[in-house]
């Protein structure tokens, strides 16, 4: 079985993320969507919330599993016997960073390849940061995120705004 890992922060999951996950699910027997946990970064959503949103957004994909991990991606890939790490690319600036990460992961675990999937053109501009900003300013995010998680995002942003006042 060819297993791929699709890592990210997913804070929150967007339609761009979902596009890459769905396409990876067609290419591999199993895809683990891995929520990266970084103690130095404080996202809007905790890892458990991000995993929950991803599970709902990918529920229709029978070969997709969601997990979180707070160690090195190369180590997780080794533990799971992954054949590939799948990364979505929006622009050239993404490539430079992701290429560096791919080379590092390859050095740490020469048994895993990194596969780059370019984001569909309709989502090339989309990022989690953009979604949070539009939501914070009262804009419509319905075109940016899976419908099953939209209210979670709006409610969390609203609660954070009230707490900041």
Residue 103 to residue 109: CA distance in whole angstroms? 10
- Of 50, 80, 128, 156, which residue is the catalytic one? 128
Extended beta strands in 15-151, E state: 30-36, 64-69, 84-89, 113-118
Q: Contact 112/79 with Cβ under 8 angstroms?
A: no
Residue 31 to residue 128: CA distance in whole angstroms? 21
- Of 41, 42, 162, 165, which residue is the catalytic one? 41
Catalytic-residue membership of 90 = yes
- Of 23, 30, 55, 90, which residue is the catalytic one? 90
Catalytic-residue membership of 60 = no
Catalytic-residue membership of 142 = no
In this structure, which long-range contacts are made by residues 107-113, counting pairs with CB atoms below 8 Å and at least 24 apart in sequence? 108/72, 108/74, 108/75, 109/74, 109/75, 109/77, 109/78, 111/77, 111/78, 112/74, 112/77, 112/78, 112/82, 112/83, 112/84, 112/85, 113/83, 113/84, 113/85
Catalytic-residue membership of 56 = no
Q: Which residues are catalytic?
A: 17, 41, 90, 128
């Amino acid at each position: 079985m060819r297993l791929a890992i699709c890592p990210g922060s997913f804070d929150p999951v967007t339609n761009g993320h979902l596009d890459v996950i769905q396409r990876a699910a067609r290419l591999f027997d199993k895809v683990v969507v891995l929520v990266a946990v970084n103690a130095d970064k404080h996202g809007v959503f905790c890892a458990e919330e991000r995993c929950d949103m991803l599970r709902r957004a990918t529920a229709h994909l029978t070969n997709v599993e969601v997990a979180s991990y707070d160690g090195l991606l190369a180590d997780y890939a080794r533990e799971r016997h992954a054949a590939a790490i799948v990364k979505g690319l929006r622009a050239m600036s993404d490539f430079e960073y992701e290429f560096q990460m791919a080379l590092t992961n390859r050095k740490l675990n020469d048994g895993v390849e990194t596969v780059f999937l370019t984001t569909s053109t309709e989502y090339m501009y989309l990022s989690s940061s953009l979604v949070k900003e539009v939501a914070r300013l009262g804009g419509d995010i319905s075109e940016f995120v899976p419908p099953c998680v939209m209210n979670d995002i709006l409610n969390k942003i609203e609660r954070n705004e009230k707490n900041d006042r």
